[in-house]
Structure 1
Amino acid sequence: MVTYAEDVKKSLYTMLKYGSERAGRDGPAVAYYGHYISYGELMDDVHACAAGLRAHGVRAGDHVTVFLPNIPQCVIAVYAINMIGAVSNMVHPLSTTGEIGYAVDLTQSKHILTCEINEGLCSGMDVEIIRCRTPSYFPKSPKGYLMGWVYRRAVRKYLIGENVRKITEWESLMADGRASLASDGLPAHAGEPEDTAVIMYTGGTTGTSKGVMLSNFAVNTVAVQLVVGVGGELIKVGDAFLAILPMFHAFGLAVTAHTPLSAGLKVVLLPRFDAKECAHTILKEKTAFIAGVPAMYERMYTEFDGKDLSFIKLIVAGGDSVGGSLINRYNQLLRQGNCTAKFRPGYGLTEACSVCALTGAEYQTIPTGCVGVPLQGNRICTVEPGTTTVVPDGVEGELCLFSDANMTGYYRNKEATDAVLKLHDDGRIWLHTGDIVKIDPPTGNICFRSRHKRMIKVNGYNVYPMMIEEVMQTHPDVKEVCAIGIPWKRDTRVKLYVTMKHKMDPADAERKLIEYAVARLNRWSVPAVVEVVAALPRTKMEKTDYRALEELELKKNTSR
């Protein structure tokens, strides 16, 4: 396991404090649309927020629901909640009424931090709403005031919270906190390594909504592993780190916010993804460290063409399968932009606090589906799916992970926890990921095949949609592709949903793509049907929503 200095392993707050001391009080901590927050200002705001929350009744062990996008209040609140030993209950800001109600009821939250777009969804709840206005931290400049005016007009259609216990403006909470600091001093720091720091929501391996409990030590482990894995010599105080991935997701919080703040870097915070805006911000801020999902990189690609990219030190993709075409195109783009870094796929899951494997920077070519080697301190093995029987490296099996970054379990869901955290013959508790992989014996690289639940059985053979998508993505006319299984006579066959780079006759596109597949795939992987669509459905994390397509096919078959 990785070893940790005693003074930084206790809580998320202590890691932030460490980063602040490393950067100095005047060092830039957060950049938000041209407004810069120093580490001194950030620490002052965290302390005021912590004192304000205590003044409003939050105590150690309570759950505070953070229902916010990536705005400064979200960053401040997570560390303030952690400082007083409470738990951040992280919920997607675009969740439905049912989803936010479920998360609040599950954790018995009495305080919710909301913004303009979702406050109304909390109506009727027995909670105190802390109203965080998105423009509050816009620059105090003519441009900032104009941005605020435009934003306020855009959100007029959203409802405010009604019939709740109390509504407190963020500014009032902070004022209460500063008054408390002046009279009573800094709140006592509460928190131990094993305490739950955050709860994240995921479909997990069974498709049902579950709250993943991540401890202080788990989140801190990822931060330390990434610094070690990237190389401390590359990381300089003041370097910019892009935070476009949402903090309600482990990838966003642990990797793009907590890791850089623990190291004294500058977090470039963006609450929404727009390809032009994000690329412009990366170039403007000379963002050295970039982490994102494949769909994000696809959309930004043309924005970087012909630009100087020499400032980039690390560019990582995860959260979804990364095609070889995308890797090759970005590596060419980086070389043309005078950048020596390589585009590096990685692998992770919420139950392991996001990233747990990363491709090495020294690679020449990446085998299909390769997502790298485990981060330092992580151990992996493969087992026969649904069992704890270990299979040799080089044989396909379900990936299992033993790591300090593994979740404690699913909150108030022992049955689901026991299904994925299992005791092996070595006496250790391993996380069963539900992903089918092959570990390459010479290199230790993890070669991803498919989600176990997504694997398709065709005439008794295992067919992996990701492998089909990887091949079909290389067709010059294909923009995006998703493979699913459909009923076919008394068996199952593959159906391909595709978006095209230019308009084509659907029948002609189907014929050409099936011919392309026949020449490159085994007979069981060749799609029986190809359907051209205008766009593929997306999950809230911008992944291709293959489940939505499966449900669509199910409805079609039911109506026949």
Structure 2
Amino acid sequence: MLRYGAERAGSTRPALAYYGNHISYGELLAEVHACAAGLRAHGVQRGDFVTIFLPNIPQCVVAVYAVNLIGAVCNMVHPLSTTGETGYAVDLTESKYVLTCEINEAVCSGMDVEIIRCRTPAYFPKTPKGYLMGWVYRRAVRKCLNGENVRKITEWEDLMKEGRAAVAASGVPEMAGAPKDTAVIMYTGGTTGTAKGVMLSNFAVNAVAIQLVVGIGGEEIHAGDGFLAILPMFHAFGLAVTVHTPLSAGLKVALLPRFDAKECAHTILSEKTAYIAGVPAMYERMYREFEGKDLSFIKLIVAGGDSVGGSLINRYNQLLRQGDCKVKFRPGYGLTEACSVCALTADGYRTVPTGCVGIPLMGNRVCTVEPGTTNVLPDGGEGELCLLSDAVMTGYYRNQEATDAVLRRHEDGKLWLHTGDIVKITPTGDICFRSRHKRMVKVNGYNVYPMMIEEVMQTHPDVQEVCAIGIPWKHDTRIKLYVTLKRKMDPAEAERKLIEYAVGRLNRWSIPAAVEIVSALPRTKMEKTDYRALEEMELRKNASR
């Protein structure tokens, strides 16, 4: 589909924008072909696993498509993973090749792998500003260590030089692999135990791209429009939605390897990125950067990956109107096991229904079941969301037990993905999110949903961010809020006011028993609020009493 995108855009249109350096579709395809030929010269065969341990830099994009071209599998690992986490992913897949950058090469020391060293400034623009950026970056990482005691270390430039020579001598490598072959391994669930490797096929990744192109405008998408790629490619949301989909449609992908609110907003404004996808925390931090700016070029702005509060939606809709933008802020829903997004709020809503995360994308079917069963509830009654889609994973790599727990055959004979999320489906087809099933809290025997509490408490004028968790309380469980504030307040006064605010807006079992004011909420590697870290902290507090 990259070739289709190149044909649609033309070889001279920009495919990637990286700190002002524009790489055309023709140049990108040439880089992919050289990388594929270079990898093959180094022994990579169809079915091998190549670990891509990189942030969103051009080498990451090139490597993903090159590995796929020769029928190998991309083993996507967070570039800030520890030695243990990286070693687990390498050992699980028996990967013999790892693409690293300056900040993480040393993590691979002692592994039986060939390191392919990708230098972050390699694709900085060849301008005075680009050279200055490179000098500053190299000084910033000068204390980072190289990998030691590995099978081999190859510089990216040398790999590409070998590949170009091979292409000149023998031509472009032929496409290997089949639609149902695994394209990528993505990791999920590491915060609750051993991470599971989600197997996503070529067919699944392409299915999402097609669904999204139809779902976000179809004929309104013009070759050359910009698409922001700040979400990391080691995550399905980043790879499938913000890189593969736009490149399949002939769009320009604006790559950013790390999130900085000012830099990200500057990229959106300077590159005129008409399509923006991100997580709520990202939008919260960028809000002020867009005030008073012309936003008329934006054609789509969506949020997913975490709970999207009504306050954030309303503030961005107001901001977009003031910036002369014709579209509205659109929450969506997805999960790694479904190749990221599987539902998106329909365009044109005057008011997004409370808790709505969208309607299923084209070709997707949903239902609700009694949690832990395959008993389908009538009329979309509140229960566990199940999904039937071409984009669903083929399973967890080397983990049949975990696969069987979530891919379950229903009475219709079809294999449905059990998401573990509690939702209600309205008569209009809207999926209204209630809670992660594992996050549901029992208070005096009643089901209490922390995310619904957060939705309400986020509307308090003094609340910046809020996270609700269940804590032991006498012989039961009660709700505690962790809150960051927009202004300085006495903690005791803030607690009193927030509990008073909850009374009358929440049912009695959802009213918090305690509120703790903090300077910041913990984050996962995907910038989601890490409620599990708060739960673990409360458990330690309780154990020490």
- TM-score in terms of structure 1 length: 0.97
Match of 1:12 in 2: none
Distance 2:535 2:192 in 1: 15
Distance 2:220 2:406 in 1: 36
CA distance 1:22–1:493, change in 2 (3 Å): same
- Residue among 221, 231, 234 paired with 2:207: 221
> Could you say what secondary structure the match of 2:136 adopts?
helix
> Could you say what secondary structure the match of 1:430 adopts?
strand
Match of 1:68 in 2: 54
Distance 2:192 2:400 in 1: 14
Instruction: Give the partner amino acid of 2:225.
Output: D
User: Which consecutive segments of 4 or more residues in structure 1 shift more than 3 A?
Assistant: 204-208
Match of 1:403 in 2: 389
Match of 1:7 in 2: none
- Residue among 478, 494, 508 paired with 2:463: 478
User: Aligned ranges for residues 313-332 of structure 1 at < 5 Å?
Assistant: 313-332=299-318
Deviations 1:142-201 (A, max 9, x none): 000000000001011211000000000000000010111122222121011100000000
Instruction: Give the partner amino acid of 1:410.
Output: Y
- Residue among 473, 488, 501 paired with 1:488: 473
> Could you say what secondary structure the match of 1:365 adopts?
coil
User: Aligned ranges for residues 94-109 of structure 1 at < 5 Å?
Assistant: 94-109=80-95
Answering whether residue 506 of structure 2 is matched by residue 509 of structure 1, we say: no
Match of 1:4 in 2: none
Distance 2:89 2:378 in 1: 40
Partners of 2:368 and 2:380 within 8 A in 1: no
Residue 207 of structure 1 deviates from its aligned partner by 5.0
Answering whether residue 36 of structure 2 is matched by residue 19 of structure 1, we say: no
Answering whether residue 539 of structure 2 is matched by residue 554 of structure 1, we say: yes
Answering whether residue 140 of structure 2 is matched by residue 177 of structure 1, we say: no
Instruction: Give the partner amino acid of 1:508.
Output: E
User: Aligned ranges for residues 111-126 of structure 1 at < 5 Å?
Assistant: 111-126=97-112
Match of 2:433 in 1: 448
Answering whether residue 520 of structure 2 is matched by residue 535 of structure 1, we say: yes
- Give 5+ residue unaligned stretches, structure 2: none
Instruction: Give the partner amino acid of 1:195.
Output: D
Answering whether residue 25 of structure 2 is matched by residue 33 of structure 1, we say: no
Instruction: Give the partner amino acid of 1:349.
Output: L
Residue 208 of structure 1 deviates from its aligned partner by 3.7
- Residue among 77, 80, 90 paired with 2:63: 77
Distance 1:461 1:245 in 2: 37
- Residue among 56, 66, 69 paired with 2:42: 56
Distance 1:127 1:179 in 2: 24
- Give 5+ residue unaligned stretches, structure 1: 1-14
Q: Which sits farther off after the overlay, 129-138 or 150-159?
A: 150-159
Distance 1:105 1:205 in 2: 19
Distance 2:106 2:356 in 1: 44
- Residue among 258, 264, 267 paired with 1:281: 267
Instruction: Give the partner amino acid of 1:131.
Output: R
Q: Percent identity?
A: 83
Partners of 1:85 and 1:191 within 8 A in 2: yes
Residue 393 of structure 1 deviates from its aligned partner by 2.7
Answering whether residue 176 of structure 2 is matched by residue 186 of structure 1, we say: no
Residue 394 of structure 1 deviates from its aligned partner by 4.5
Distance 2:534 2:352 in 1: 29
Distance 2:141 2:379 in 1: 54
Residue 61 of structure 1 deviates from its aligned partner by 0.1
Match of 1:3 in 2: none
Deviations 1:381-403 (A, max 9, x none): 00000000011235210000000
- Residue among 495, 498, 511 paired with 2:483: 498
Distance 1:214 1:410 in 2: 9
Match of 2:511 in 1: 526
Partners of 2:466 and 2:481 within 8 A in 1: yes
Deviations 1:190-226 (A, max 9, x none): 0111000000000189654100000000000000000
Residue 483 of structure 1 deviates from its aligned partner by 0.2
- TM-score in terms of structure 2 length: 0.99
CA distance 1:549–1:206, change in 2 (3 Å): closer
Answering whether residue 123 of structure 2 is matched by residue 149 of structure 1, we say: no
Residue 231 of structure 1 deviates from its aligned partner by 2.0
Instruction: Give the partner amino acid of 2:467.
Output: C
- Residue among 29, 33, 36 paired with 1:43: 29
Partners of 1:398 and 1:432 within 8 A in 2: yes
Distance 1:212 1:517 in 2: 39
Deviations 1:443-472 (A, max 9, x none): 110000000000000000000000000000
> Could you say what secondary structure the match of 2:277 adopts?
strand
Partners of 2:367 and 2:380 within 8 A in 1: no
Partners of 1:205 and 1:433 within 8 A in 2: no
Residue-pair matches, total: 545
> Could you say what secondary structure the match of 1:393 adopts?
helix
Match of 1:161 in 2: 147
- Residue among 450, 453, 456 paired with 1:465: 450
> Could you say what secondary structure the match of 1:407 adopts?
coil
Distance 1:415 1:344 in 2: 36
Instruction: Give the partner amino acid of 2:453.
Output: I
